[in-house]
Every structure is written in C-alpha cells, then in structure tokens.
Structure 1
Amino acid sequence: MSSAVESPTFDLAALNHEFEGAEPRAVLAWAVEHIPQGLVQTSAFNVDDLLITDLLYRDLQPAIPVPVIFLDTLYHFPETLVLVEQAKEHYNMNLQVYKMPDIDSREAFVAHYGEALWDTNVEQFHHVTKIEPLMRGLAELNTVAWITGRRRDQAVTRAEMPYFELDKLGRLKINPLAAWTRKQTWAYVAEHSMIYNPLHDRGYASIGDEPLTTPVGEGEDERAGRWRGSGKTECGIHI
C-alpha cells in the first residue's frame, strides 16, 4: 500500500470567490499545481467527464498523470464499456477500475441480491455498486482532492453547486465545469474532435446504469432520464 498523502487545508470561500466564472482549464491548472499528489478524477465517461480528461491528458499533462476512477457496476451500457477502453488507449490514461468485491458478473449479482435490486432497493443497489467501491478507491489512492464533471445547469438540484467543496471525509471536491453549460461542453467537443459515447446522439443526455437510464425528451432537465418516475435525483455519491 502506498504511503498516506498529507491533506492540506483549503480556504473554500476564497477559492470559490477567486474562480467563480473561471474556465475549466484554469480550475484544473490550479488543482494540478497545488495538489501534485493525491489528485483524482472520478468518471462515468459521460461527455463532461471526458472533457475534463481531455484537458488533463491532452492539454495540461501534469508530471504525475491524474488517476481516473471508473466504477464498474456490471450494469453499464455496452457502448459505455467500449468507450472506456477506447479512451484508456486514446489518452494513455491511468485508469483505475473499482467494482464490488467477489461479484464479477450480472449472473453472480442476481444470485447474491436477487432480480432487479434497482427496483426493490435502489439505495442498496447504488451503495454496493457505486458508493462503497468509490470510497474504497479514493482511500486506496490516498486522495486529497477529487474532480467531478458536474454542471449547475444539469438539474435544478445542482443549480447552487460551488466550484470547490468538501466531501463527507474532508477531501476537497472540485467541480471545474460548475458554471459551464451543455452548449459550451459540446462546442468544446467539436473544437477538439473529442471522442464521446454514441448514446449521447440517441437522446441519452446523461448516461448511467442501463436499467435506470432512458433518453431525455424536449424541454426536460439533462438528468431527467435517470431514475425516471422515481423522484430520485442522485445515486448518493454527490449527496
């Protein structure tokens, strides 16, 4: 096991004041400079996540490549899994895949938890497939700060999201795209000929687990296709 990384103290109010309205690259450049060890990106390989990876790996290229955590829930779309491998090769990415211990197939998952756990107990489903593996991954990577691809305009529940916040364990959580819009993200994709999940072209604005993700209709929030009809807005990672 690697040695623990000493966690610095951050003035959140000062950082959020300084960077409000800043471009994502400026936020990431600050993070790379001030957190040379213990900086991690978490990614579901949605288009915003890949934009951050593109800035880190193509543009900024820190001396220590930023590890990218991907949570293999066993229930991703096939297109997502193809993209993960494509992006890993394209960026020569330090990809760190975390999953449930001792369960490595959908068949094994059903044998242990029963049919459609996402219907019978969605909180447990997210805990065992996402929250526990993520917390384990952040700990094993001695994370000081982790980067997300969230934007304020994705949903009303994210409208007040800051650039910098602390997670439950006091790690810094960085949201470089906080003030960006969906339009700006896709303009960046076009400008830099970025790879992205083809499901985005089929109406899937936000892509999660296959059983819990549907296309988004005209005028709906970007995340309206997640947990449709349940009233649920987050899987628990960002609560």
Structure 2
Amino acid sequence: MSRAIELYARATPGHEERVAETAALLRSAADRHAGRIVFTTSLGAEDMVLTALIAQHRLPIALATLQTGRLHAQTLALMDQTEAQYGLAIERWEPAAEAVISFTRQHGELPMRQSIELRKACCGLRKVEPLSRALAGRTAWVTGLRREQSDARAELPVSSVDEHGREKLNPLAAWSQTDVWHFIAHHGVPYNPLHDAFYPSIGCEPCTRAVALGEDIRAGRWWWEQEDAKECGLHVSTVSAAPAAFNKETA
C-alpha cells in the first residue's frame, strides 16, 4: 500500500452520498453549460478524484492544466498517465514565452524568493494569465478546492460567480482529506508519487517542499511567506455567491 493511502485513506460516514452528490453536481453543471465548461486541474489528489468522476460518468467537461514551465517531472508524467488511463485529452496552457524570457532576464531564475510582489508577479505570468486564456469563451469552471485546505478557504462555497460572470464550482468543498484518499484507494485513481513523499500540496518545483509531521497541509507552499500571503491569484477573484439553485452544498 502507498504511504499516502496508508496515512490518509479512511471510510467516513456519508462518503458514498458525498460522491453521488458530487457526480450529480458535475452532471448538472455540464448540462447547464454544454460545451462551455472546463475543469482546471493541477493534477493534485483532489483534482485526480474529479478527473476520475468526469471519466467514470462520461461527462462532457473539458480538462485543462497550466503547464507553467516549472512543474515537477512527476507532475508532467502524471499528465500523460492520466490521458492514457482515462482516454481524456488535457489542454496544456503555457505562459507567453517572450514574457517569461524577459521576466527571467530582469529578475533571475528564482524571483519568488526575492519578495512577495515578485512571487505574485511570477504566478501572474505563469498561472493567472494562461488561466485567463483557458477560460476565454467558457461560462463555467470547476476546481478541486476544499475548505479544509487552509483558513483562507474555510468558507469556500460549492458554487459562486466570478468577476467575469462565470460560474465557479468547487464540488469537493465539503470533502475531507480522508474522503479524497479513500476515493483514490477504492477506485484505483492514479496520483502524483510526490504525495507519498509528504507533499500534500504540489505546485511549481521551486515553490513546493515536503511537510513535516504536524504541519499544515499547505505549509509546503511558499513556505518563506506569511500564511495570509499564500495564494497565487488563481482563486482570489470570486466576487459573489451563486444563486441558491447553484449553491447546494455536498455536506
């Protein structure tokens, strides 16, 4: 048994109901936004759960990822493995090459270590701008965010509306870490081997480290910064909760 599954996978009361409700939420969103909905995956454990559900239920939801140019080799390998196992194509959205070259020439290979401002600028260049292109022409997007991941996400809604009027769905908002890993174990879902090396949250290689026993699950992300600064900009722009019809919680 893998280390991550051994540590985290547990059957909890209501798990199957949460799985069914999540699948139903995804199907409803796919129906409402036919051909205009995308799942933005970073290939973390939560995202692999959603990928498996989309594949199992043959949902017409596009998959897209941000190929930042600084991802771990294990993450890149998992992209290919996922496509092969599920027969799904993953769109790969990259930063503008000229902008990356210019930024690197001006600030060096590790600008994120120099200041919060430069770290956020790097995230903007490699993540936020490519995401804006990935979402262009789409009316809804799906993420693998969970409330349990950090204090900043403690009030995460299942559905909201972003500043561009798109519905943003967080179907796993109410899921626990044990829910995620129980699903992975029970359904044979592939996952990043870095999770077995105590990387619960995986981003770009220079900005991710393993966590120690007892540390917060996002302690390995931008570990040199204060907790209130630890967002890359992808999930800080939602402006309002969605209408009640879109906001049913998967409790």
Mapped to 1, the partners of 2:64 and 2:103 lie a distance apart of 21
1:92 matched to 2:87: yes
Mapped to 2, the partners of 1:42 and 1:66 lie a distance apart of 10
* RMSD after superposition: 2.1
Mapped to 2, the partners of 1:219 and 1:77 lie a distance apart of 24
Matching residue within 52, 60, 81 for 2:76: 81
Matching residue within 216, 224, 230 for 2:225: 230
Q: What is the aligned residue count?
A: 214
Deviations 1:27-59 (A, max 9, x none): 2122122222201000110010111011001x2
Mapped to 1, the partners of 2:72 and 2:102 lie a distance apart of 18
Residue 32 of structure 1 corresponds to 30
Residue 6 of structure 1 corresponds to none
Matching residue within 150, 160, 169 for 1:165: 160
Residue 198 of structure 1 corresponds to 193
Residue 141 of structure 2 corresponds to 146
Matching residue within 199, 207, 214 for 1:212: 207
TM-score, scaled relative to structure 1: 0.83
Deviations 1:89-109 (A, max 9, x none): 2112131111112359x8887
Residue 12 of structure 1 corresponds to none
Contact 1:66 1:94 in 2 (8 A): no
Deviations 1:170-213 (A, max 9, x none): 11000000000000000000110110000000000000011110
TM-score, scaled relative to structure 2: 0.80
Matched ranges for 1:11-26 at <5 A = 23-26=21-24
Matching residue within 156, 159, 163 for 2:151: 156
Letter in 2 for 1:78: A
Residue 248 of structure 2 corresponds to none
Contact 1:21 1:179 in 2 (8 A): no
Residue 124 of structure 2 corresponds to 127
Letter in 2 for 1:131: V
Shift of 1:217: 2.1
1:53 matched to 2:51: yes
Residue 15 of structure 1 corresponds to none
Please, which runs of 5 or more residues in structure 1 have no aligned partner? Answer: 1-19
Residue 241 of structure 2 corresponds to none
Shift of 1:22: 7.4
Deviations 1:144-163 (A, max 9, x none): 10000001111111110000
Residue 117 of structure 1 corresponds to 111
Letter in 2 for 1:202: A
Shift >6 Å, 4+ stretches: 106-109
Deviates more, 1:148-157 or 1:24-33: 24-33
Mapped to 1, the partners of 2:121 and 2:102 lie a distance apart of 16
Distance 1:98 1:112, change over 3 A: farther
Mapped to 1, the partners of 2:89 and 2:20 lie a distance apart of 27
1:178 matched to 2:176: no
Contact 1:68 1:96 in 2 (8 A): yes
Contact 1:51 1:185 in 2 (8 A): yes
Residue 71 of structure 1 corresponds to 66
